[in-house]
Structure 1
């Protein structure tokens, strides 16, 4: 940071410290103003010009430095200067102060952000250039965030100062008038009878109604603006058009058909999407075969004779396809047509916010219209731009399932859930697996103790885990496939037969024509959805992997409910998507299942918590099945049993987690779990035992000591116990 910036930071710090030290926060209170109202009124009446300019100066400083008291000063402006002078003074001062805060944020931080996040900042600037003025106006009219945050955040964008100042002044004017007018009524309160005056009640009614009125006006203007230039059809072919037949699209179409709406589902490839064809279903089938192989190989754990596993990889993959075929009817066009959905095989692209051009698989095209459209096109494996990788004929979670020969040496790029699940499955099936992860641990979104346990189990099963290795170059040397990685400044050479790339996923937006309707994907590839899952236009929605932020089948189905219901009934009532309780499971062995906050997330967010642990090596059912490893970890507020988050690491973790998920969803604490009868011996008993560990840690020590004395006295061992503790038989 430059000397000029340090000087400015020091100056701001000095002013803030002076404000606090002088009791400025205590001065700018409604009680203090009322207490000194008469004195101030008298002084202002004799020094009006000085008073107004002094008021403006203080207001500018308070606003520019984001000090507390701006709301009270706005009321004071009306109370002491009346509507005309008060409105002028507050309006000018708030605009100048906001502009100064805007400039300070830009001067101190924007250059740093531009250097570190050039691409992201550039996209933000393009968005601000296109819609920034309107977006700022909506925030000023209906403040989603506090005004001081708006001042600072906008300073980091490329918005011009004059635009910021003008839009802020105009958009804040209605709200400023409402508050100043309320202040004029406060200034007239001289007795308790004034409190129920019609003017005062009207002013405060307006103060309460203004946000609702402003929200309605903003919504109306936004709709007019966003649809400007488009001609809405006079009638529609469908109530809902859904693009994509994966989990999100199927649920959206199902809901629409269930409420008797006319709905069409457009899918260019296979119904069921990734989950059925290349994701959840085939991977879990492969993992089950791998677990069977591991059981046979280690049958001595169960008192049996271990046997070498010599399975046919081709047969295993055929079984995977059989499993897909058995599940496929659940997602088939035939089933959905019976439910009332028009299933169309083809590709769709936007013509307008209400119209799609559909290219059928037989070659002909047609245009279809709908009141609402849902984009549910899913995602695909991301392919990093590593030199030579494309020449390796790389595997990914899409093309893996066509593999008929098991690789002897499998290189897995990525230590996330997909890479870890498949790495473990192939290792248990007999491949020599090298897992390369550029980070410092596997499953980076989980806590370090979780990652360490998974890594330990992987290494016990023969996986060569290479952490802190960044793949830099692929090559073929003397007929052998090679990858060069960078590790702690050194170049590491690794040989392999096949490489499986699992370094993340990218949203499917190509060919949708989103640019035609002014929608630009975010830097991570997903599309920018609102809280109601809408996409810029109130009638266009997105859900599933294409929308983010979660890329789980159950998350896609959850989002799809909001997209479909808001698409069909949004003109009457809109629902905001609720992510408060989002569980997920990584199907390694041990399984890793989590809901809510991890320790790292709670610490990052500044949320106070305490941790309760229960080791699954203590669980009778786990011991009986020779799977007595792993743990349960529950986060709760200090001294309370409310569940902030829970993680289960071990066998059947996904099933054990369900109880914690249900409890979090419905506000049930650990005491409720402890008070619930759990059958013995089951895996779910572990949830009760974890709750018991919390209860034991929070036992009332003082009361227990008194009870100990009571029981001793009743046995005749403690004659000194006070008579007040006597409880008759």
Structure 2
């Protein structure tokens, strides 16, 4: 009953405010129009006027009514800078506290009872850092003040602390606004607009948020670095830990701008991509695809033949490809560029100091203004009973194991139906392995649309792979009859025999051993970063797989640009990392490439879109190449040609996608693609034809009907006789 009465009182006061025209009085025009009357009233009864203004301001703030900003200007115009500042500072803080208490009384108990478990982390954070968060929100008004009052009322934050933190946080902004009001009061003619004091006052209104953000950032830095002793001089401008894609690009950029940079790598230069990922897998896929084409040469008018090859030579070619690419990422190349390369393991001792345990047994300690963690990721290995006893391979250990064999695995069980599992399963099946691919999810490649998953499954099945979806691994066993994995499928256990087990369940960031835990940086799942790729410490950045998100080589290089530029020049200008247009490709046959939204993602997020589809079986070059399978699917804004996402399934899909990536990155629509000349006959023509399909669906039918009439009139009103 008390809550109901309070709610009715609040609604009545709000309705009275609007009914009596309060919203019309609290405008800049009304303020100027009645400025003389207010000044006269203040001259007659200064204390009464001040008290009335104070109470009215408290009421407006407590009820979250519009007009608080105008009243702040009015305080400066009526009472001058210092008296106006005192009145507004106390009135606004008191009103905000009342609004917070009302929200707490009306809503907090119900919200906490219903969402208590979910709000526990929020409550703990407010108890620990609530004062700082409230201060920064008051200082930089990112959210409307009434929303801050409401949300803080739902938490256990103490009311007394809320009051004084709000008063301190709002004081700088109040000072700027009240000062602007004093200058507004002095404006008595159009010539006063040119007054330097007035220009300066309103300029402060514009630049205050920037100054406030800088102040907040300074406070945050001091708070984070409390307890650490920063050195006066640094050995390096930048230290990069990890020489994968992100680390190499970061070091390259730093050396290019003549910064002194040290790159630390304990393993092989080039990271996973060069040594155990992209490069060896694509080399293996190329050999496997050629073997597949030889078996099906009759599709090209040739004699199909069973390829004869040495598996050892195939794997030797893979290693030769790695060696051929390796100079691009070598110590020698980066040393020549001006990068100091240390082969060893780097560990942070404090936010600016890295100790390097060199591979040759020595130790070095270096300091730098900024550090970039680019340690990459490692295969995710599940905790399955019997796994260690049976033994397993991962995408990291597979290559060395296969290089020592004369033949491919006889029976290979691949655990995981994502990109890595599908690519390696298909390649090794085409090279002679009997492959079973098991996936816990109901379908392969679950991040793609259902039709894509179905097409990939069909392709793998045609290559002789036993694809098992919806299977939950339970344990591994080994006896005289061999090795087997026990899985659950439809509430029954099934045994899957194998000779070799490949774990391909994705990758997780490498986070341990770099001293991050000792610095208080969370390493539970990934390195948490802000929009500028800064970690908990603003001078320590994370780039690439270690920061989670999109675990692609090209994304790691993309992130490295932002991390290195912000690390070296962030005191002048910082850049927010842009993930708006990220492409990727899975190199199964046919390839699956995508950028932006898929149809399923758009549906799940409630994003309206149109779907345009073009089948590659209708493309001349694809027909000529025997690659007339697959499709291009384009998602656009309804009624417009702006591209939201593209999925391509087909030969060289990764190459075809580049045109759409360019279009999305530079906001080019399908009309622009349609107007671009594409060479005939090429696969890239498919992009133009897809745009043409969209154009057909949006043809102006009424205009075309009038054109038909026009052309009939031009023919003299007679219908054509016979063929045109």
- TM-score (structure 1 length as normaliser): 0.85
Closer, same or farther: CA 88–692 of 1 in aligned 2, 3 Å:
same
Gaps of 5+ in 1: 63-68, 720-729
Give 1:624 shift. Answer: 0.8
Q: Quote the Cα distance in structure 2 between the aligned partners of 1:25 and 1:359.
A: 75
Once the two structures are superposed, residues 73-95 of structure 1 have per-residue CA deviations (whole angstroms, 9 ceiling, x without a partner) of: 34345547963433322222224
Contact residue 99 and residue 149 of structure 2 kept, 8 A: no
Gaps of 5+ in 2: 720-724
Contact residue 533 and residue 563 of structure 1 kept, 8 A: yes
Contact residue 412 and residue 433 of structure 2 kept, 8 A: yes
Q: Quote the Cα distance in structure 2 between the aligned partners of 1:13 and 1:691.
A: 57
Once the two structures are superposed, residues 289-315 of structure 1 have per-residue CA deviations (whole angstroms, 9 ceiling, x without a partner) of: 221121122222112222234543333
Give 1:714 shift. Answer: 1.6
Q: Quote the Cα distance in structure 1 between the aligned partners of 2:181 and 2:469.
A: 63
Q: Quote the Cα distance in structure 1 between the aligned partners of 2:312 and 2:10.
A: 71
Q: Quote the Cα distance in structure 1 between the aligned partners of 2:715 and 2:626.
A: 44
- 2:722 maps to which residue? none
Q: CA RMSD in A?
A: 3.8
Contact residue 97 and residue 149 of structure 2 kept, 8 A: no
Q: Quote the Cα distance in structure 2 between the aligned partners of 1:297 and 1:487.
A: 34
- 1:301 maps to which residue? 299
Q: Quote the Cα distance in structure 2 between the aligned partners of 1:656 and 1:442.
A: 23
DSSP 3-state at the match of 2:643: coil
Moved more, 659-668 or 174-183: 174-183
Contact residue 178 and residue 206 of structure 1 kept, 8 A: yes
Q: Quote the Cα distance in structure 2 between the aligned partners of 1:458 and 1:147.
A: 57
Q: Quote the Cα distance in structure 1 between the aligned partners of 2:105 and 2:286.
A: 59
- 2:495 maps to which residue? 493
- 2:228 maps to which residue? 230
- 1:55-454 superposed matches below 5 A: 56=58, 59-62=61-64, 72-76=67-71, 78-79=73-74, 83=84, 84-98=86-100, 115=117, 133-144=131-142, 167-179=165-177, 201-403=199-401, 404=405, 405-454=407-456
Moved more, 159-168 or 549-558: 159-168
Closer, same or farther: CA 351–35 of 1 in aligned 2, 3 Å:
closer
Contact residue 90 and residue 167 of structure 2 kept, 8 A: no
2:694 aligned with 1:683 = no
Once the two structures are superposed, residues 333-357 of structure 1 have per-residue CA deviations (whole angstroms, 9 ceiling, x without a partner) of: 1222222222211111111222111
- TM-score (structure 2 length as normaliser): 0.86
Which structure: larger Rg?
Answer: 2
Contact residue 434 and residue 464 of structure 1 kept, 8 A: yes
Give 1:512 shift. Answer: 0.5
Moved more, 130-139 or 351-360: 130-139
Contact residue 100 and residue 153 of structure 2 kept, 8 A: no
- 1:646-661 superposed matches below 5 A: 646-661=646-661
Moved more, 566-575 or 192-201: 192-201
Contact residue 75 and residue 184 of structure 1 kept, 8 A: no
Moved more, 163-172 or 210-219: 163-172
Moved more, 330-339 or 75-84: 75-84
DSSP 3-state at the match of 1:271: coil
2:710 aligned with 1:710 = yes
Closer, same or farther: CA 207–641 of 1 in aligned 2, 3 Å:
same
Give 1:381 shift. Answer: 0.6
Once the two structures are superposed, residues 639-693 of structure 1 have per-residue CA deviations (whole angstroms, 9 ceiling, x without a partner) of: 2222222221111001001111111222222111111111111111111111111
Contact residue 74 and residue 180 of structure 1 kept, 8 A: no
Q: Quote the Cα distance in structure 2 between the aligned partners of 1:338 and 1:229.
A: 39
Q: Quote the Cα distance in structure 2 between the aligned partners of 1:515 and 1:247.
A: 24
Number of residue pairs the alignment of both structures matches? 700
DSSP 3-state at the match of 1:530: coil
- 1:509 maps to which residue? 511
DSSP 3-state at the match of 1:472: strand
